[in-house]
Copies of this chain bind each other. A is one copy, B any other.
């Protein structure tokens, strides 16, 4: 048997067990699932020393393999981080169960009573990198929405993930739900990722959690639907009617509050009629942001570095922004349509009519008026923890939380109706 065949058989077994588990999960009440998560959190706390010992082995191996300090920091757990993982699982247990909600109902003229009812999606694959907390966070969200999860973490975190997974499963089983509700791919063989991406019919949805190269690989190779975003090339358009103080506050927050998150602004578009363009850009530069400017703007602020064409398509995730003057709303919308990534785009404007046009015509998962793009977050939207942010057009867009991990079925109750 070749290695690939072995991995394929392992994955076939895992997906079949996951599908079996979905039947018990679909029957479980919100209270059942919450109880399982509370028990899982308790096991994570109880098994904290084992988890930390496993993590220490991963960290030692990572050091020996010469991983960067940043990667080692993402990998490392301590008492506080383990406690935060357990608390996060408990927070998911407190979210209200989306399953069973009736989306709409109607009684047909023939008396057939129809409902659309929320149900779990089924089997969800999570592919992630070095942060071990994803093992618990993602599994908790999948389970609370009634889904079975198949987890594939980074090879550098393999022992940490196994220990966290063992704790989760111990709690889930103690609460009477199937152990196969959360399975961890045990092998670090990279072929396992390929087997997940090709598991049509076995895995219903894949959510990648990690850097751009991971997401790009998943999007390129998956034969299973994927919820993800590749880029967050987000714009703030400062309209001629914008209040200068509000524009400055929103732009500085959107870029500089945290530069490394997907909701950060990358490109600033300023209406040619906005009177305070130079002051706004200088304020942004004064925070330590490198502002790469297009020619018209550099005529006013010649000290700025020049933006080239590639800048409009670049997600810096750093204290860098591109900036340009646009002729007005049409040009702003056209720029975003051409260069944006359909993640989060904002307008600052006092003119409500202009703002509403922007909100209607900019084709992004999230469009904001007079608010920072950094609100692009499930918690900020009141959804609780999010599994990720999606920039595709189908199923769920923007922050994806419990409801995005469900689908619906049609339920019809009749009294013997036939079409005849």
Residues of B contacting A121 in the complex (Cβ-Cβ under 8 angstroms): 393-394
Among B27, B119, B367, the residue within 8 A (CB) of A410 is B367
Residues of B contacting A252 in the complex (Cβ-Cβ under 8 angstroms): 418
Residues of B contacting A412 in the complex (Cβ-Cβ under 8 angstroms): 366-369, 371, 375
Q: Is A374 an interface residue (CB 8 A)?
A: yes
Residues of B contacting A407 in the complex (Cβ-Cβ under 8 angstroms): 393-395, 397
Number of interface residues of A (CB under 8 A): 64
Residues of B contacting A253 in the complex (Cβ-Cβ under 8 angstroms): 418-420
Residues of B contacting A108 in the complex (Cβ-Cβ under 8 angstroms): 380-382
Residues of B contacting A399 in the complex (Cβ-Cβ under 8 angstroms): 410
B413 A370 Cβ-Cβ under 8 A = yes
Among B337, B365, B394, the residue within 8 A (CB) of A23 is B337
Nearest Cβ in chain B — how far from A271, in angstroms?
Answer: 17
B419 A375 Cβ-Cβ under 8 A = yes
Q: Is A417 an interface residue (CB 8 A)?
A: yes
Nearest Cβ in chain B — how far from A226, in angstroms?
Answer: 10
Binds B, one of A72-80, A166-174, A242-250, A296-304: A242-250
Please measure, in the bound complex, the distance between the C-alpha atom of A361 and the C-alpha atom of B413, giving whole angstroms. Answer: 15
A416 B205 Cβ-Cβ under 8 A = no
Closest to A242 in B: B416
Nearest Cβ in chain B — how far from A185, in angstroms?
Answer: 21
Nearest Cβ in chain B — how far from A47, in angstroms?
Answer: 34
Please measure, in the bound complex, the distance between the C-alpha atom of A22 and the C-alpha atom of B392, giving whole angstroms. Answer: 16
Among B112, B382, B408, the residue within 8 A (CB) of A375 is B112
A368 B420 Cβ-Cβ under 8 A = no
B361 A416 Cβ-Cβ under 8 A = no
If A257-B418, A367-B412, A382-B108 touch, does A393 touch B204 (CB 8 Å cutoff)? yes
Among A250, A369, A415, A417, the one with the most B-chain Cβ atoms within 10 Å of its Cβ is: A417
A370 B420 Cβ-Cβ under 8 A = no
If A257-B420, A382-B108 touch, does A370 touch B26 (CB 8 Å cutoff)? no
Closest to A408 in B: B397
Nearest Cβ in chain B — how far from A160, in angstroms?
Answer: 30
If A371-B112, A414-B369 touch, does A27 touch B382 (CB 8 Å cutoff)? no
Q: Is A360 an interface residue (CB 8 A)?
A: yes
Q: Is A106 an interface residue (CB 8 A)?
A: yes
B371 A417 Cβ-Cβ under 8 A = yes
Question: B-facing mask of A348-374, CB < 8 A → 1, else 0?
Answer: 100000010001110111111111101
Among B122, B359, B380, the residue within 8 A (CB) of A411 is B359
Q: Is A186 an interface residue (CB 8 A)?
A: no
Among B243, B361, B393, the residue within 8 A (CB) of A27 is B361
Please measure, in the bound complex, the distance between the C-alpha atom of A418 and the C-alpha atom of B372, giving whole angstroms. Answer: 5
Among B27, B370, B382, the residue within 8 A (CB) of A414 is B370
Q: Is A289 an interface residue (CB 8 A)?
A: no
Question: B-facing mask of A243-285, CB < 8 A → 1, else 0?
Answer: 1001001101110010000000000000000000000000000
Please measure, in the bound complex, the distance between the C-alpha atom of A378 and the C-alpha atom of B22, giving whole angstroms. Answer: 28
B409 A22 Cβ-Cβ under 8 A = no
Nearest Cβ in chain B — how far from A410, in angstroms?
Answer: 4
Q: Which of A117-152 contact B (CB under 8 A)?
A: 119, 121-122
Q: Which of A1-58 contact B (CB under 8 A)?
A: 22-23, 26-27
Top 9 closest pairs, chain A to chain B, by CB? A371-B414, A253-B418, A246-B416, A395-B395, A370-B414, A368-B412, A371-B417, A394-B395, A366-B410
Q: List 24 A-B pairs, Cβ < 8 Å.
A: A22-B363, A106-B382, A108-B382, A122-B363, A204-B393, A205-B393, A205-B394, A225-B392, A246-B416, A249-B416, A253-B420, A257-B418, A257-B419, A348-B416, A364-B409, A366-B410, A367-B412, A368-B413, A370-B415, A371-B417, A374-B418, A374-B419, A394-B395, A398-B409
